[in-house]
């Protein structure tokens, strides 16, 4: 592609959107109320270029492969910059932003690759609704944050603005956005699973996740090694509240169902190298408990016992196919271990 094809009006607007992104962040972080207001204007202008370059490209036929790649990328860069800026300003939780951003860039990469291979992926109405809702939340937070720094508005509507920016309100809104991102990602992956299964990078990522970062290939007790990885991740993941940890566990469970199903097709039913189920089971065994080393060690032991002997309904659940059986029997073992751990914690808490 020559330079004249790359620098069409739509592509120039896409470049402008990328250039405006760091300017928006710098202005937003300024102590000056005027600069914060300017940041809002810059963000609106950058967002409008997305609508306008798409309209121009469709109306005048300025559709190029360069534009197909960089236009959605510029959108993700702009929205990611706003979300990470909100994290820096202590308005929203970082883990939610990481889930959203990783999801957006992965799906954008998938769509770009599919387009390159002549198998374009059509954006579903559900995904469009997700994107609309995400931008509504970004504008909501951005406008209120800027209004908070504008003295006349702060003096007249300060209580209302503070209430609308209450951490619980923002957490609830971001939780809906995060779950919608995860849900639409699952739909994308399921609808395009045949295309994904043929990609070497996806095959490697599937193996990496399903085997607990390759711990499942341990020649000695791969299930125990996978459980150990789960225990280590439990302390490494920077999450303090139980709800967030529960959501991460659910997301990992769903990821485990999909990745396990892929390896099952290649290696047969419930191969020993799959240990992502042990990671989820270990996390369930310590759910709703204090994050203490000695309690985690006891939960580790109990989970291994229940996972080995598989009391009802664990052995029944493992009969399910397509990854569900692999994951569900360890969920049952984790629940049993958690029940015992809760009893131990209760006795120790109220014993004299």
Tens of pLDDT, residue by residue over 209-266, are 999 989 999 989 999 999 999 999 999 887 777 888 898 899 899 999 989 988 888 8
Bond prior to 202 in cis (omega within 30° of 0): no
pLDDT digits over 223-237, tens only? 999 999 999 999 988
Does this model's pTM top 0.75?
no
Question: Quick one: pLDDT at residue 16?
Answer: 83
CA-to-CA separations, 34 to 29, 30, 37, 131, 221, in angstroms, rounded? 11, 9, 5, 29, 62
The pLDDT value recorded for residue 126 is: 84
CB 263 within 8 A of CB 204: no
CB 259 within 8 A of CB 211: no
CA distances from 91 to 82, 152, 196 (A): 11, 22, 36
Residues 183 and 231 in one domain: no
Q: What would the pLDDT profile of 98-107 be if each residue is shown by its tens digit?
A: 889 988 888 8
Residue 313 has pLDDT above 70, yes or no: yes
The predicted model gives 132-158 an average pLDDT of 90
Residue range 15-74, pLDDT digits in tens: 888 889 999 999 999 989 999 999 999 999 988 887 766 666 666 665 665 556 677 788
**Same domain, yes or no, for 30 and 91?**
yes
For position 75, which CATH number holds?
Answer: 1.20.120.1760
Token pair 């809002």 in the structure block, residue: 40
CA 287, CA 336: separation in Å to the nearest integer?
12
Does residue 161 contact residue 144 with C-beta atoms inside 8 Å? yes
**To which residue do tokens 């270990």 refer?**
282
User: DSSP state, 93?
Assistant: -
Asked which of 194-198, 235-239, 312-316, 322-326 is least confident by mean pLDDT, the reply is 194-198
Same domain, 204 and 147: no
Domain that includes residue 184, residue range:
3-197
Q: Which of 171, 197, 223 is the last residue of a domain?
A: 197
Give how many domains the chain has, as a whole number. Answer: 2
Residue 98 to residue 265: CA distance in whole angstroms: 31
CA–centroid distance for 202 within its chain = 17
CA distance 105 to 87: 18
Claim to verify: residue 12 and residue 148 sit in the same structural domain: yes
Same domain, 187 and 224: no
């Amino acid at each position: 592609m020559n330079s004249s094809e790359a620098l069409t009006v739509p592509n120039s607007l896409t470049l402008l959107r990328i250039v405006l992104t760091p300017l928006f962040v710098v202005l937003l972080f300024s102590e000056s109320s005027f600069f914060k207001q300017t940041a809002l204007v810059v963000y609106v202008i950058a967002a409008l270029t997305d609508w306008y370059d798409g309209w121009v490209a469709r109306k005048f036929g300025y559709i190029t492969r360069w534009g197909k790649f960089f236009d959605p990328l510029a959108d993700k860069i702009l929205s990611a910059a706003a979300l990470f800026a909100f994290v820096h300003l202590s308005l929203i939780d970082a883990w939610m932003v990481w889930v959203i951003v990783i999801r957006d860039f992965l799906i954008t990469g998938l769509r770009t690759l599919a387009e390159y291979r002549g198998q374009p992926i059509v954006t579903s109405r559900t995904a469009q609704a997700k994107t609309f809702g995400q931008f509504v939340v970004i504008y909501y937070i951005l406008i209120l944050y800027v209004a908070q720094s504008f003295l006349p508005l702060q003096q007249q509507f300060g209580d209302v603005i503070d209430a609308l920016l209450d951490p619980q309100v923002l957490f609830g809104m971001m939780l809906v956005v995060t779950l919608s991102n995860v849900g639409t990602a699952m739909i994308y992956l399921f609808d395009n699973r045949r295309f994904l299964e043929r990609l070497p990078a996806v095959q490697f990522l599937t193996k990496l996740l399903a085997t607990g970062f390759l711990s499942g290939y341990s020649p000695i007790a791969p299930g125990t090694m996978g459980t150990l990885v789960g225990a280590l991740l439990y302390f490494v993941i920077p999450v303090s509240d139980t709800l967030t940890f529960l959501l991460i566990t659910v997301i990992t469970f769903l990821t485990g169902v999909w990745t396990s199903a892929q390896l099952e097709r290649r290696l047969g039913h419930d191969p020993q190298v799959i240990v992502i189920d042990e990671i989820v089971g270990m996390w369930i065994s310590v759910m709703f408990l204090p994050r203490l080393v000695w309690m985690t060690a006891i939960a580790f032991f109990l989970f291994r016992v229940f996972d080995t002997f598989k009391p009802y309904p664990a052995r029944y659940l493992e009969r399910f196919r397509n990854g569900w059986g692999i994951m569900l029997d360890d969920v049952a073992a984790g629940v049993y271990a958690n029940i015992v751990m809760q009893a131990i914690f209760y006795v120790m808490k109220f014993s004299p």
